[in-house]
Structure 1
Amino acid sequence: MPLSAVLFDFDGVVIDSHEAHGRSWFSLAGELGHELSHETFVSTFGQRNESILPFLGWAEEGDRERIQLLGDRKEALYREILLAEGIEPLPGVVALLEDLKANGIPCAIGTSTPRANVECVLKITGLADYFQDIAASEDVWRGKPDPEVFLKAAGKLGANPADCVVIEDAQVGLRAARAGGMKAVGVTTTHPAAALEPEKPDRIVESLEEVSVAWLRGLW
């Protein structure tokens, strides 16, 4: 039967970290003495630091040492915010994870977020036991829209990509899911439905409160 695994993007799907990420990027900009507009931050949300920092002009493309240094600092600022203020799963996340667990369907996270961030949030929210594995930024060479991170996540679960569903909030993530031959569900946490529709996801929802195992099986 189809639906052998569900692969969750992290930021914007499991948690709404948009504000915390924004604050950490603006804090880093302040430390470096750079300007950063809200529009530029939004346009890069969900991408890897290796892509964002050269795009912003804060590091030369290929300067891995500086990119690593600045990326690590930005992520440390992000974790400081979460540890100080806490964070909750988005609506419907826990219920869906419970339903998947009850039906014996494994889950993994496929994200451009560093592993330390994911593990930090899973500890804060108590969700660690629901996910069998994580494919994070350290596990891949190519960021979304390349499907590598989702193919890696499916591989960690021993799942056929064609029998997997990816849940994503960003255009590049939906494109990656389709490129990997997986079913794709878009959730409008970060972008409106009109922005996700051109990527041709199988369904678009406002919240994971609309999603269940039976609903996911209906994608086939």
Structure 2
Amino acid sequence: MIHAVIFDMDGLMFETERVAFHMLQTACAKRGLQFTIDMKRQMCGADFEASAQIFANAFGAIDPAYTYDVCWSGVRKEMEKLFAEQGIPCKSGLRELLNFLCDHGIKTAVASGSARHVVQQYIEMADLAEYFPVIIGGGDFHQPKPSPESFLLAAERLEVSAPECLVLEDSGRGLEAAHCAGMHAIWVPDLDIPRQEVVEKVDAVCETLIDVIPWLKAQNSLS
């Protein structure tokens, strides 16, 4: 029986991973650097320090002054401007799934590696704050994914046991974290391509968030 669903945010709820990739690619190209899709996939689900190391490994010897901090700060401002002007792009099926969960009394939380204020900002921009009484963001926990800490903290605040939680993730790191937490997990693919051994442990693979609904109906014996 599933009593709570814990959402990742970037690439799962919102189309932020692809937007970030294209903006990072453009910013790096202006410096003569090639930011690749493989680099972005390595960053999916990673915290800032891990992403900065990936960036440094690729470009540190070529352009040491252009750190990930410098690059990302500019990209972050561009993203905020874009979303303020055009709205934040929600992933297909997000609102339908949230309404289904609300209608059936299934609790919801967000557990993201992004800074807490960014998570709250995006959720408010999408007018989804009423669905998420529990928000876990960077700074609320010590160990980033694939550590299960963020998911376990979300479950604790929802007052639901780990085996009663379903985690929705787009990244391999996030799926590993869900498995380590002893929670159910569904992979909703975006940019990242998790290792096969990680995918084999998930409960299901759903192309969109609306496809999660039939799985929940079967799991909870709902009509």
Is the TM value for this pair above 0.5? yes
1:147 maps onto 2:148 in alignment:
yes
Counterparts of 2:217 and 2:173, CA distance in 1: 21
User: Letter of the aligned partner of 1:15 in structure 2?
Assistant: F
Q: Corresponding residue for 2:64?
A: none
Count of residues paired in the alignment = 213
User: Letter of the aligned partner of 2:20 in structure 1?
Assistant: H
1:149-172 CA deviation, whole Å, 9 max, x = no partner? 111111121111111000111111
Contact 1:7-1:166 within 8 A present in 2 as well: yes
1:155-210 CA deviation, whole Å, 9 max, x = no partner? 12111111100011111111100000000011123346985863510111111121
Counterparts of 2:85 and 2:196, CA distance in 1: 33
> Any residues of structure 2 matched to 1:7-26 within 5 Å, and which?
7-26=6-25
Counterparts of 1:172 and 1:199, CA distance in 2: 14
User: Letter of the aligned partner of 2:42 in structure 1?
Assistant: S
Change over 3 Å in CA distance of 1:139–1:21 after alignment to 2? same
Q: Corresponding residue for 2:208?
A: 207
Change over 3 Å in CA distance of 1:219–1:32 after alignment to 2? farther
Query: How far did 1:56 drift?
Result: 1.4
Counterparts of 1:47 and 1:195, CA distance in 2: 19
> Any residues of structure 2 matched to 1:67-82 within 5 Å, and which?
74-82=75-83
1:44-79 CA deviation, whole Å, 9 max, x = no partner? 2221111110221178xxxxxx88777655533432
> Any residues of structure 2 matched to 1:54-73 within 5 Å, and which?
54-57=53-56
State the identity %. 25
SS in 1 for 2:114: coil
Counterparts of 2:208 and 2:161, CA distance in 1: 26
Q: TM-score, normalised by structure 2?
A: 0.81
Can you give the 5+ residue segments of structure 1 that lack an aligned partner in the other structure? 60-65
Q: TM-score, normalised by structure 1?
A: 0.82
Counterparts of 1:125 and 1:219, CA distance in 2: 28
State the Cα RMSD in Å.
2.9
Counterparts of 2:73 and 2:159, CA distance in 1: 31
